[in-house]
Structure 1
Amino acid sequence: MGLKESLAKLSMINIKRGEVLFKEGVPSNGAMFFLFEGQLDIYKQIENKHVKLRSILPGEFFGEMAIINNSPRAASIVVVSESAKLGIINRTTFVQMSQESPEFLFLLLKKVIERLYETDGKIRAIKRKQDEDSVIAKMIPTPSATSSESNESIVTQDPFSENTTPIGE
């Protein structure tokens, strides 16, 4: 059986715009996901701000760290499209897919490595910009808004408030 056949057998969930699939730091339920439809954004808390790292588009796997070592969620995931259709991959399904479709493991490992490089670069760039802004602010103090307030990647409405219940947990 190939990867497409394995994906077709997954349990599905549908979630709506603005819903949080899971929050950074919460214990995982041991599941990863495959996005069939919609768009999700990944946010990481950096210096008490939720910063968008990247988007997840149809055809992508995510949440694999929950399968591999059952670690707490490394980032928060929010639905940004009107809705999203996700397949749930638990540990049993993961092992079965790995045995039936060796290309699954290769594609997943390749994607994880690409994401590590991409995320590391983005976090370094964000911290470098914050350091530069801090130096400039010390040199030229002004009462106007800080540059981080104009940064598009920072969430203005907080979908991560304590009142929000993650969908995927």
Structure 2
Amino acid sequence: MGLKESLAKLSMITIKRGELLFKEGVPSNGAMFFLFEGQLDIYKHIEGKHTRMRSILPGEFFGEMAIINNSPRSASIVVVSENAKLGIINRGTFVKMGQESPEFLFLLLKRVIERLYETDSKIRAIKKKDDDGEKITSKENTSEETSPEDASNEEEPSEGEDGSVSEAPIE
């Protein structure tokens, strides 16, 4: 069985714009996800600010740390499209997918390593920008250029209407 067949068998959830799938630091439910439709944004708490790290687009896996070591969520995920349709991958499903489709494990490992480099680079750029900003507090910076990192500081993702934050339900 190939990767496409494995993905077609996943349990699905749909969440709406503005909803948090999970929040940074909250214990995980041991599940990772595959995004079929929609767009999600990843936020991380860096230097006292909630910073948008990147978007998750259809065809991407995410949340794999919950499968590997059941650690608390390392970032917050919020839906930015009208709806998002996600496939749920628990530990048992993950193991089965790896056995049935070794390409799944290779693709996942490759993408995790790429994201690690991207995230590390972005965090370094944010910290450097903050350090540079502290050094220039009394000077005007007339030659400042805008980079993708400059646009990354955004407001904290919103919580539910009742103020609660919880992971999306898993069936």
Relative to the length of structure 1, the TM-score reads: 0.88
Counterpart of 1:69, as a letter, is: N
**Offset at residue 49 of structure 1 (A):** 1.1
The CA RMSD measured in Å over matched residues stands at 1.8
Helix, strand or coil for the counterpart of 1:97? helix
Helix, strand or coil for the counterpart of 2:42? strand
- 8 Å Cα contact 2:43/2:156 also seen in 1: no
1:9-24, aligned counterparts within 5 Å? 9-24=9-24
Q: Distance in 1 between matches of 2:157 and 2:35?
A: 23
1:124 aligns with 2:127: no
Q: Distance in 1 between matches of 2:17 and 2:124?
A: 29
Relative to the length of structure 2, the TM-score reads: 0.87
1:94 aligns with 2:57: no
**Offset at residue 114 of structure 1 (A):** 0.2
Identify the range of structure 1 (40-49 vs 106-115) with the bigger mean alpha-carbon deviation.
40-49
**CA deviation map 1:11-66 (0-9, x unaligned):** 00000111000000110000000000000000000122110111100000000000
- 8 Å Cα contact 2:20/2:157 also seen in 1: no
Residue 154 (structure 1) aligns with? 153
1:163 aligns with 2:156: no
Counterpart of 2:152, as a letter, is: S
Q: Distance in 1 between matches of 2:51 and 2:13?
A: 26
Residue 52 (structure 2) aligns with? 52
Q: Distance in 2 between matches of 1:44 and 1:60?
A: 18
The 3 A distance-change label for structure 1 pair 121 and 157 is closer
- 8 Å Cα contact 2:17/2:82 also seen in 1: yes
- 8 Å Cα contact 1:14/1:83 also seen in 2: yes
Q: Distance in 2 between matches of 1:126 and 1:34?
A: 28
**Offset at residue 153 of structure 1 (A):** 2.3
Structure 1 unmatched ranges of 5 or more: 142-150
Q: How high is the sequence identity, in percent, across the aligned residues?
A: 74
The 3 A distance-change label for structure 1 pair 157 and 53 is closer
**CA deviation map 1:50-107 (0-9, x unaligned):** 1011110000000000000000000000101111000000000000000000000000
1:30 aligns with 2:9: no
1:62-81, aligned counterparts within 5 Å? 62-81=62-81
Moved over 3 A (4+): none
Residue 146 (structure 1) aligns with? none
Q: Distance in 2 between matches of 1:98 and 1:31?
A: 15
Q: Distance in 1 between matches of 2:9 and 2:95?
A: 14
Q: Distance in 1 between matches of 2:31 and 2:87?
A: 10
**Offset at residue 163 of structure 1 (A):** 1.6
**What is the count of residue pairs matched by the alignment?**
159
